[in-house]
Amino acid sequence: MHSNQSETRILIGTTSSRQCTLAAKQGKLRLQLGKLAVSCDVLSEYGNMSGTTTAFVLDELRRRRNMEEGV
């Protein structure tokens, strides 16, 4: 993102294994819809891999950000 943009982006990763848990976290943290989408996508594709899930979520966040920025 360019420094002149006023919007702050927050990318959030989580390793929760259940969709209901992700929805509860999203509600408790008052996150906008879609903020946990990457976590849901990784869990849906690979399942809960315990601590390894965190690395997969972070890698996917990085990959998507790079695609958005054209890197």
Write out pLDDT tens, residues 8-25. Answer: 455 555 544 455 577 778
Which amino acid appears at position 60 of this protein? E
Q: Which positions ≥6 away from 10 have C-beta within 8 Å? A: 35
- Given a contact cutoff of 8 angstroms between Cβ atoms, the answer to whether 42 and 18 are in contact is no
| 35 CB neighbour count, 10 Å cutoff | 19
* pTM of the predicted structure, to 2 decimals: 0.64
Cα maximum dimension of the chain: 39
Instruction: Summarize pLDDT for 43-70 with one digit per residue, the tens.
Output: 888 888 888 999 999 999 999 999 999 8
Distance CA 5, CA 2 (A): 6
